[in-house]
Amino acid sequence: MAKSPEVKLAVFGRAGVGKSALVVRFLTRRFIWEYDPTLESTYRHQANIDDEAVTMEILDTAGQDIQQKEGHMRWGDGFIIVYDITDRGSFEEVAPLRNLLEEVKKPKNVPLVLVGNKSDLDHVRQVGTEEGERLAAEMACAFYECSACADEGGAVSEAFHELCREVRRR
């Protein structure tokens, strides 16, 4: 019997955007308010995507230094870049991260999904939905606005699943 394919996913983005909260939400369907910001972990998760069993290894990054980042980028098959819709600075960090990814993975095409997190905080939003959409279009990747704490409609799992599909298309 064929072994189910394994997909390595890494989650990047400025500290505090909600990477850990999103990963935990995806894995447990729960929200954890406080999560050690320095903790970096890998999780294994089995899912059924389009009637096919997939084993994911998900790396929730927290590293700041460039060597560590590049190491994670070499490790991964697919990437989620997260920004916080209430933090414009985190949005401005997306393009540099993506450029580094392209650089590290060259000449390969990089499976990528862009996520604007904390959509429940619309009243203090600093980044418009159209801005996220535009950036995703420039990077030729899928885009999701979602909330790790109020995941209505399952946008969080949709983002992870779409990334798996994207990896497997390549």
User: Residue numbers of the site for ligand GDP (CB under 6 A)?
Assistant: 13, 15-21, 33-35, 37, 117-118, 120-121, 147-149
Look at residue 114 and give the partner it binds from Mg ion, ligand GDP, none, a contact being a CB closer than 5 to 8 Å depending on partner kind: none
The DSSP output letter for 160 is: H
Q: Which residue is nearest to ligand GDP (CB)?
A: 18
At 141 the three-state DSSP class reads coil
Which of these ranges, 13-21, 44-52, 66-74, 160-168, lies near Mg ion under the rule CB under 5 A?
A: 13-21
* CB 11, min distance to ligand GDP, A: 8
Should residue 117 be labelled a site residue for Mg ion when binding is judged by CB under 5 A? no
* CB 109, min distance to Mg ion, A: 27
Name, in order, each residue with C-beta under 8 angstroms of 147's C-beta and a sequence gap of 6 or more.
117, 118, 119, 120, 121, 155
Sheet strands (E) in the chain: 6-12, 41-49, 52-60, 78-84, 112-117, 142-145
Q: How far apart are CA 146 and CA 130, in angstroms?
A: 14
The answer to whether 112 touches 139, Cβ cutoff 8 Å, is yes
Look at residue 147 and give the partner it binds from ligand GDP, Mg ion, none, a contact being a CB closer than 5 to 8 Å depending on partner kind: ligand GDP
Q: What are the residues binding Mg ion (CB under 5 A)?
A: 19-20, 62
